[in-house]
Amino acid sequence: MAKILKIYPENPQENLVNEVIKTLNNGGLIIYPSDTIYALGCNIFDIKAMEKLAQLKKIKLDKAKFSIICNDLSHLSDFTRPIETSVFRFLKSHLPGPFTFILEANKSLPLAYKGHKTIGIRVPDHSIPQLIVEKLGHPIASTSIRDDDEIIEYSTDPELIAEKYDHLVDIVIDSGYGDNVASTIVDLTSGEPEIIRQGKGII
């Protein structure tokens, strides 16, 4: 059964955040809040956790396009090819924020991402995922829990989310109601922003 932890941005309890970190380090799956919708996350360096995440989304891991959640732009060079100054400035002006930026991947990606030519980077404007990444010491893999054929409450009400994913994840972080609009996906591989999916963020 999933454990529900009430962690709020205003005053996150350190012991609860540490429990999330321990779960991630032990290969667990979490559902966490963001500046857009609630999302599924796991340790990007734990291949078994990544496989569980892919199974949950009913896709093969080598076909999965899980975003990488960072707490700032300092991790960019770990996953992406060198980017132009103008692109970095563009990223800096829009992050943290409700965007997923597609960038060219380098050859140092975690095992689960090997062979990917591009990678999606997110820096949510929400203190909980930022705190998790900071305390974990590295980014987490992430994918939306929102499905187009589901009633909207499942993506906004943490209690309903926990009910649905009760036997599928280890922890559900309850930070109150979430948004029901996903991030805007922007492709920056050409150097110029190309909107792939219009979501909450406006470029």
Q: At what angle do helices 14-25 and 127-136 cross, to 10 degrees?
A: 60
The band of 1, judged by pLDDT with boundaries at 50, 70 and 90, is confident
Mean pLDDT of the chain: 93
Residue 129 has pLDDT above 60, yes or no: yes
Which residues on neighbouring strands pair with residue 6, listed in sequence order?
Answer: 174
Cβ proximity of 74 and 63 under 8 Å: no
Distance CA 160, CA 145 (A): 12
Closest CA to 160 of 61, 62, 37: 37
First to last CA, the chain: 40
User: pTM higher than 0.75 for the full model?
Assistant: yes
pLDDT for 67-113, tens place per residue?
999 999 998 999 999 999 999 999 999 999 999 999 999 999 999 99
Span 154-160, average pLDDT: 83
Gyration radius from the chain CA atoms: 16
Cβ proximity of 34 and 87 under 8 Å: no
